[in-house]
Chain A
Amino acid sequence: NAGVTQTPKFRVLKTGQSMTLLCAQDMNHEYMYWYRQDPGMGLRLIHYSVGEGTTAKGEVPDGYNVSRLKKQNFLLGLESAAPSQTSVYFCASRPSLRANYGYTFGSGTRLTVV
């Protein structure tokens, strides 16, 4: 089925380790986003991309890097994980800003940093 796929679904890291979260969409969407969700809170935007080869900072970008080398993939990297980055990470995509419909979300990645 078409949609947004996130890998991995779960991960435990030790403080200081690095990892990359992968988001893949097969809907030919232009815009892609990475959010984090902490307990009892809404989603906060980490980084986003408006097209292949472009990225921009969101509300909480510190400690993360992103890349969008291919239109269908949006990667989120943690270079040196910290306990404060324990969260659930969601990727989302949408076709364009003018489209009369909104986001499609992935199922999330639950990350624990110990």
Chain B
Amino acid sequence: GIQVEQSPPDLILQEGANSTLRCNFSDSVNNLQWFHQNPWGQLINLFYIPSGTKQNGRLSATTVATERYSLLYISSSQTTDSGVYFCAPNTGGFKTIFGAGTRLFVKA
């Protein structure tokens, strides 16, 4: 099955800093999602991005399906951005595979 690798595994930022999270996947994908899991465990869908670039406020995501990677940009980070970010590609059908995540901590 598809392999998903997220980097870095852990990231500590000072509030206001920018960061880029990367997701590499080993197979062609039909779609890809980015999720944020907050420190209380709630999972929030950030982006549904099979290809191209999308922006939502301080967050943006780019997926280059032909090169099998996706990037999540966080600009002007805030303490509320802390948590775990998951990349979840889907290769078709009903199964979506989650990466192990990038754990982000933003210091005030």
List chain B positions with a Cβ less than 8 A from chain A.
Answer: 4, 31, 33, 35, 41-45, 48, 86, 88, 94-101
Whether A101 pairs with B94 at a CB distance below 8 angstroms is no
Number of interface residues of A (CB under 8 A): 25
Interface centre among B4, B43, B98, B99 (most CB of A within 10 A): B43
Q: How far is the CA of A38 from the CA of B4 in the complex (A)?
A: 17
Q: How far is the CA of A43 from the CA of B86 in the complex (A)?
A: 9
Given A43-B86, A102-B33, A105-B43: A97 and B98 interface contact (C-beta under 8 Å) = no
Q: How far is the CA of A11 from the CA of B61 in the complex (A)?
A: 37
Q: How far is the CA of A24 from the CA of B35 in the complex (A)?
A: 21
List chain A positions with a Cβ less than 8 A from chain B.
Answer: 31, 35, 40-45, 48, 50, 56, 58-59, 88, 90, 92, 97, 100-105, 107-108
**Shortest Cβ distance from A108 into B: residue:** B41
A-B contact count (CB 8 A): 52
Q: List 23 A–B pairs whose Cβ atoms lie within 8 Å, in order of A's numbering.
A: A31-B94, A41-B100, A42-B86, A42-B88, A42-B99, A43-B88, A45-B96, A45-B97, A48-B95, A50-B94, A56-B94, A58-B95, A59-B95, A97-B94, A100-B48, A101-B45, A102-B31, A102-B33, A102-B48, A103-B43, A105-B42, A105-B45, A108-B41
**Shortest Cβ distance from A44 into B: residue:** B98
Q: How far is the CA of A88 from the CA of B45 in the complex (A)?
A: 18
Whether B45 pairs with A90 at a CB distance below 8 angstroms is no
CB distance from B51 to the nearest CB of A (A): 12
Whether A40 pairs with B100 at a CB distance below 8 angstroms is yes
Q: How far is the CA of A11 from the CA of B94 in the complex (A)?
A: 29
CB distance from A74 to the nearest CB of B (A): 13
Whether B45 pairs with A42 at a CB distance below 8 angstroms is no
